[in-house]
Amino acid sequence: MQLKIDESSDIIVEWISYNQFNNIKEISNKDDLFIICSAIWEEGLLVYGNGTNFRLPNEKVILKYLCNSQDIINELLNEIKKYTISNSDEILNIYGISQNPKTKDYIVVLKDGFCKNCGEIYTSINDNWCKSCQINNLKQNFTSWTSGNKEIDHFIQQMQFKINNCSDIIVEWIPYSQFHNINKIGEGGFAIVYSAIWKDGPLQYVENQRELKRNPNKKVALKCLNNSQNINNEFLNEVKGYSIKNYDRILSLYGISQNPDTKDYVMVLDYADGGDISNYSYINIDWYWFERLLVLTHIIEGLENIHKNKMVHHDFHTGNILLSFGDYTTYGSSSGNLTSHIYISDMGLCGEVGNIDETKIYGVMPYVAPEVLRGKPYSQAADIYSFGMIMYFVATKKQPFANFSHDNTLALNICNGIRPEINEKEAPKFYIDLMKRCWDSNPNNRPTLFHKYCRQCIQRLFI
């Protein structure tokens, strides 16, 4: 094993004397096949640095006792092969081999990566997070809350079961009394949106404490659906469209509530303080091309996540792409990484491919694909057409067909192949070519999702 090392960070597997281990505590016993214990390795791991080997004393480790392994060397060696010497935060590494002097059982000495509650390997070793234990804790808490509606309760429970990462959001039923400083910030045909402060705040996993804690006084957006007193599939479908993940470019959902006065249901969403992307053209005049391409890359990443789930957005335009600045006041290159705070929103029309009323046309007309205007169903290719129009806005800071009324004449022009005008003074040729492919009249000629291509375009700007 020692001869297999290939990198300076690789682990040097050793024979470790049993008397090196202190504070040995049993975690689990697997049907007399093996016993898992935690321990402190006094001398600690041998590592390489600054041209020499040295030890990291008092290393916390896991001891995996192989029961009745005194004379079964082959089983010991097969067990060792399960692990790796490549040092990684998310891989269970082997540190060495030892032997219990009393039972003569062999012991595999491993990186500390086992849950102290259930004895299984952490779902995320680096974060000390166990998915099964967290879900069990959420299950045990089901009896402590209710929305008063069995369908809503079941829906929230199913959303909680979907967590797959310690950073995933725990969707909750949130009493309306938790919200204060409620201010109206927008209104549409089907909903009113408010900003508010959520007193207790969302649950977040704290690594060093290995438990969920509240992040109090969280600013959120409350999307109140008009006439939603009686829960229906349309409401639940919109809720499903939002994300419980922090990093997939889709606006995050924290939970559901209900206005006690109107009885309308409320979606509790992440608050995007930068508004929609059209605001950016007024915030920062010097919008560099590498920034524009980064923005588009992150937008297409969000759309890709929608399409991977066999969904179509149906209403994809600049008004549904939100920015969150956090503590920053501009979206410029001085901040370095603010493009990470871009989210696709308004998932109310987002639905499965082919599962939408074909007789209805949704969306902002300049962003609607010509085949949809002709009465054909929305498709993922129609979303790509809309993305082409977003590319036009990013290049020119002008809305497509800004000087045209959104009427039958414009719809007819779009169906006849009329597109916004642009020249190479406004955008690089490779950009214009890609944009025109996106808004091709034939859906089959439009590219599939291509955020990697956008990254290649960014690199081209620096060659």
- Tens digit of each residue's pLDDT (9 = 90 or more) over 80-92: 777 776 766 667 8
d(CA 463, CA 96): 48
State the CATH class of domain 131-270. Answer: alpha beta
Cβ neighbours around 289 below 10 Å, total: 16
* Residue range(s) of every CATH 3.30.200.20 domain in the chain: 2-111, 131-270
Q: Are 226 and 233 in contact (CB under 8 A)?
A: no
In the chain, % of residues over pLDDT 70: 85
Higher pLDDT, 437 or 457: 437
| Residue 104, phi then psi, degrees to nearest 5 | 70, 10
Mean pLDDT of the residues in the chain: 84
Contacts of 205 (CB under 8 A, 6+ apart): 127, 129, 134, 166, 167, 211, 212, 213
Q: What is the mean pLDDT of residues 93-106?
A: 92
pLDDT of residue 326: 61
* pTM value surpassing 0.95: no
pLDDT of residue 323: 85
pLDDT of residue 281: 57
**CB pairs under 8 A, 24+ apart, for 404-412?**
404/366, 406/364, 406/365, 406/366, 410/365, 410/366, 411/365, 411/373
Structure tokens at 360: 């209805």
Higher pLDDT, 277 or 23: 23
Q: pLDDT class for 353, splitting at 50, 70, 90?
A: very low
User: Beta strands of 17-153 (E only): which ranges?
Assistant: 21-30, 34-41, 45-49, 52-56, 59-66, 94-99, 106-111
pLDDT digits (tens, 9 = 90+) for 132-152: 999 999 999 999 999 999 989
In the chain, % of residues over pLDDT 90: 43
Q: How, if at all, do strands 179-187 and 191-198 pair?
A: antiparallel
Q: pLDDT class for 345, splitting at 50, 70, 90?
A: confident
pLDDT digits (tens, 9 = 90+) for 245-296: 766 788 889 999 999 999 999 999 999 888 888 876 555 556 778 788 888 8
Superfamily of 2-111 according to CATH: Phosphorylase Kinase; domain 1 (3.30.200.20)
Residue 361: pLDDT over 80: no
Higher pLDDT, 97 or 229: 97
State the CATH class of domain 277-460. Answer: mainly alpha
d(CA 448, CA 462): 25
